[in-house]
Amino acid sequence: MNIYKKLNQSIEYIENNLENNIETKRIAQILEMNEQLAQNIFYCICGISISEYVRNRRLSNAGFDLYNTNMSIVDIAVKYQYTSATSFSRAFEKFHNIKPSQIKNGQKKLRVYSRIKLQEIEEKNSSIEYEIIDQEQMELYGTYIETTIEEIRKVAPDFWFEIYYKYKEKYGDIDYGMTSYDNRFECNKCKYWVLYKNKVNEKEFQKVILPKSKWIVFKTKTQDTKEIQETTQKIYKEFIPSTKYKFKELPELEYYHNNIVEIMMPLEEN
């Protein structure tokens, strides 16, 4: 599968439906994967979340409509799927640094977020080693920080070290890192968790239960943040588009032990 061609097709679908409801399942179908992986692939290669891309493109077009048509602010808000003129005006000002009413009053300072167009070039072949394990139900204990898809690469390491040094003497080494999403296609917000295998003070940490599953495991050579991120990028850019495995809609894990990291992704059963 040429993932760049598939992404261009998904972007074409988005562009054709900026004035309509954009069905996230359709994007996942185009990319031939589940919704969770579709979001990660899109962000990994395009550098922006699907929800943020849709928002930026709608607001770009809204600026054009405000300046070049006689449509009211309310009508334009409805056109681009906003539930109220207030929420639209707030988003418009954040994007354009100017209120929509100021455009109507003659000011012309606007910005545009350009449509993404990827080169459909197949990259050179490379090999990625992995293994598949059977994992019983996991009962973990941890805490999280709220962040965004765009900021998580910086926020996650900082939060990991904050918790590590705060609780090292009390609970020892952190066992897992995990990213979870409340509604990954409605917004770009997410939670980054640090988790312990052993039971800890439940007033300080929350219990997280992951069901029994098969997991596909990729190993890094160190626990260096840069290598973890580079390995993750390689998984999404090269491995997933090249494999026939189907993945569950469960959070992925990073398992820290023996000076390495195992990046774990849950597999659908055959």
Q: What is the pLDDT of residues 14-53, one digit of tens each?
A: 999 999 999 888 999 999 888 888 888 898 888 888 999 9
Phi then psi for residue 179, to 5 deg, are -115, 130
Q: Where are the domains of the chain?
A: 3-104, 131-267
**What architecture is domain 3-104?**
Orthogonal Bundle (1.10)
Which residues have a Cβ under 8 Å from the Cβ of 93 and sit 6 or more positions away?
99, 100
pTM for this entry: 0.74
- 47 Rama sector, left if φ>0, alpha if ψ -120 to 50, beta otherwise: left
Superfamily of domain 131-267: Regulatory factor, effector binding domain (3.20.80.10)
| CB neighbourhood size of 69 (10 A) | 10
Q: What is the pLDDT of residues 122-142, one digit of tens each?
A: 555 567 889 999 999 999 999
| CB neighbourhood size of 128 (10 A) | 12
Q: How much is the pLDDT for 251?
A: 85
Q: How much is the pLDDT for 247?
A: 87
Phi then psi for residue 176, to 5 deg, are -135, 155
Q: What is the pLDDT of residues 210-238, one digit of tens each?
A: 999 999 999 999 999 889 988 988 888 88
Question: For residues 245 and 239, what is the distance between their CA atoms, to the nearest angstrom?
Answer: 10
DSSP state letters, 146-209? EEETTTHHHHHHHHHHHHHHHHHHHH-S--EEEEE-SSTTT-SEEEEEEEESS---TTTSEEEE
* pLDDT(65) > 70: yes
Q: How much is the pLDDT for 244?
A: 81
Question: For residues 39 and 189, what is the distance between their CA atoms, to the nearest angstrom?
Answer: 12
Is the distance from CB of 190 to CB of 152 less than 8 angstroms? Answer: yes
Quote the distance between the C-alpha of residue 54 and its chain's center.
14
